[in-house]
Amino acid sequence: MMTIRRLLTLAVFASASAASASAETALERGTYLMNSIAACGNCHTPLDANGPIAGQELAGRLVDDGEPFTAYAPNITPDMETGIGSWTDDEIITAIREGKRPDGTIIGPPMPIGLYRGLSDTDVEAMVAYLRQVPAVRNEVPKSTYRIPLPESYGPPVGSVADVEPGVTVEYGGYLAGPVGHCIECHTPMGQGHPDFENQLGAGGFEFRGPWGVSASANVTSHETDGVASYSDDELIAMITTGVHPDGSKMLPPMGYGYYANMQPDDVKAIIAYLRTLPPKPNPK
């Protein structure tokens, strides 16, 4: 039987743990997310031959120039003229989760608005807290050009989105791989103008063009030969955080290994737990 002293000790420990967990500020959470799994700089930070350009964090750049669109990731630093310094917090959150700018225009791909609609209130507010303290950079970025129709909206106003309890769980892994990191967006082939989540979730084959040439996202389903079923958890952890295959060969961009290396170990494990549950799908033809 547990003693009164033991019960009191456990109660104090639990209280201290809860206080520690709640002590994380919005800026601390935002800093962690933006510099790890969210990896917004992977699209929004200008690059040169050596990687991200120093002093240009989140200042915007050309992301994709293909048949459907020429897409520029905008300057999202607090610069008042070329960035988002004049936007309110609510306007930034609406842009992230609903794909609508303050002037009412719609944000197009590759911004994964459909997934960002699932960002919790806590996390999207934390991301805004981070954006507010990034050094302002004056950098005029061209507007994107779309040769495909954009939707009038991505759905009704989002409203409130609850937190997902952190932990090494399939649910939290799905939240990180979906709304936060949009891994499943890049790793799912296109259907009728959008990723075919319904039929080919995680099957890979999404093509990316860049200075490296053309790369295609890998199959991350539980398929025995085409997917990740044959890899151990340790091998997957190394691949996600370093971009190196078990045989030593390096993966191609644009996967944000430099950001994912900063992920907490339990968060990587949660993502892997989620990937293990994806129905096996062969590589797209």
Model confidence over 122-142: pLDDT tens digits?
Answer: 999 999 999 999 999 999 999
For residue 18, pLDDT beyond 60: no
pTM over 0.85? The answer is: yes
Q: Is domain 168-285 classified as CATH 1.20.58? A: no
Q: Let me know: does 113 contact 99? Beta carbons within 8 Å.
A: yes
Q: Which residues contact 50 (CB under 8 A, 6 or more apart)?
A: none
The CA distance from 164 to 257, in Å, is 24
pLDDT, one tens digit per residue, over 48-101 is 878 899 999 999 999 998 888 999 999 999 999 999 999 999 999 999 999 999
Q: Where are the domains of the chain?
A: 25-163, 168-285
Closest CA relative to residue 110, chosen from 57, 71, 67, 62: 71
Q: Which residues pair with 106 in a beta bridge?
A: 100
